[in-house]
Amino acid sequence: MTLSVALGPDTQEGTRTGTEASTDSLTAPDIPWNLVIWNDPVNLMSYVSYVFQSYFGFSESKANKLMMEVHKKGRSIVAHGSKEQVERHAVAMHGFGLWATVEKATGGQGGSGKTGGSGQGKGKRG
Amino acid sequence: MAKAFKYGLKGITGFLEPAERELLRSLIHDVISMLQPEERTHQDPLAAMIGLDMDVQEPTDRAVRRLLPNVMKNDDGASLEFRQLTERSLRETKIGALRAAALDLDKDEILLTPEGARHWSMALNDVRLVLAERLDIRDEEDAEHVHLMQDWSQAEDVESYLALVYNFATWLQESLVQAMLQSLDTRA
């Protein structure tokens, strides 16, 4: 990603509304598909964070944490869900111009970076 | 000179000179023309109506492939199947955002609703993705190298001109996204 100016401190934990986040109702810890966002040298760090906040309804701090993970580790899992759910997210991410793929959570796709789930993909309702 | 986008009482506002608007308009139209789906003579009209495209292939142009990436990293078959179901509507989403941004370029004062701002950020991002492919930006080092080109008097060839245009689009998108993040903060 391309460096942009520093973002402000996190004061807005979990208060934004993700209009399209659709994984709210999922509670099972090991739903078998992941949405992966990959690093690229073009997308602005601020833009990636904006997309995470506005689409998934993530707090600023969570969005920035995931964005930094994409930037530093090359990829980050930002949501879990059924295949259909993560595919719908992937199309939305492609709409925004982010490089997103879906993968089976235990599929051993061999990508770099972590495979554990730091982002539960739960859009918080504000 | 363009003014950075700002978030204020009226919403998100920006200002562009006529030459800058002309430049952006032509960039946007280039991207739209890359995204226009191919007309197929033998297409099933029902399939077309619900957005299916059973004849779709992975794009050969790198820039188009970046705009419409495979949904699976290591499964071209499944990715192609997914394309058949989704690529047409993704193209339409992107073209819709690009057209909306192009319409706003008819005035030099730009005033954006939240939805308009989202369309603009998507359009500028797609323009930058295409320019980045043309400039061969493959990693952060390439990006930094391009970023060093800031002086229009240095524009000697196509590549340096493209680099300057890319940097202008980057600056504009960054200012827009900062204004959008501010508007999220205010709403929260």
- Nearest partner of B112 among B11, B4, B8, B1, judged by Cα: B11
Residue B99 lies in a domain: yes
Collect all residues with Cβ–Cβ distance below 8 Å to A61 and sequence separation of at least 6: A10, A13
pLDDT digits (tens, 9 = 90+) for B139-166: 999 999 999 988 888 788 999 999 999 9
Name the residue range of residue B100's domain: 3-37+94-187
Residue B131 lies in a domain: yes
The domain ranges of chain A are 39-104
What does the pLDDT average to over B68-91?
95
Task: Check residues A126 and B96 and name the one with the higher pLDDT.
Answer: B96
Preferred mutation among A15, A38, A46, A115 to probe B, highest tally of B CBs within 10 A? A46
Residue B64 lies in a domain: no
What does the pLDDT average to over B20-45?
89
Region A39-104: CATH code: 3.30.1390.10
Q: Give the pLDDT band of residue A27 (cuts 50, 70, 90).
A: low
What does the pLDDT average to over B77-91?
95
Residue B164 lies in a domain: yes
Q: Do B70 and A42 touch (CB under 8 A)?
A: no
How many inter-chain contacts (A to B, CB under 8 Å) are there? 100
- pLDDT, position A28: 54
- Calculate the average pLDDT of chain B: 92
**Number of folded domains that form chain B:** 1
Residue B73 lies in a domain: no
Task: Check residues A77 and A19 and name the one with the higher pLDDT.
Answer: A77
pLDDT digits (tens, 9 = 90+) for B106-144: 988 999 999 999 999 999 999 999 999 999 999 999 999
Residue A64 — φ and ψ, nearest 5°?
A: -70, -35
* Pair B133, B62: CB distance under 8 Å: yes
- pLDDT, position A31: 64
Report how far residue B42's alpha carbon sits from residue B92's, in angstroms, rounded to the nearest whole number.
20
Residues of B in contact with A44 (CB under 8 A): 170, 173-174, 177
* Pair A14, A124: CB distance under 8 Å: yes
Instruction: Convert B95-116 to b/e letters by CB count within 10 Å (16 or more is b).
Output: bebbebbbebbeeeebebeeeb
Check residue A44 and report its DSSP letter.
B
Whether the pLDDT of residue A12 is over 80: the answer is no
Residue B66 lies in a domain: no
Return the number of other C-beta atoms located less than 10 Å from residue B171's C-beta.
13
Residue B67 lies in a domain: no
Report how far residue B122's alpha carbon sits from residue B135's, in angstroms, rounded to the nearest whole number.
20
* Pair A118, A66: CB distance under 8 Å: yes
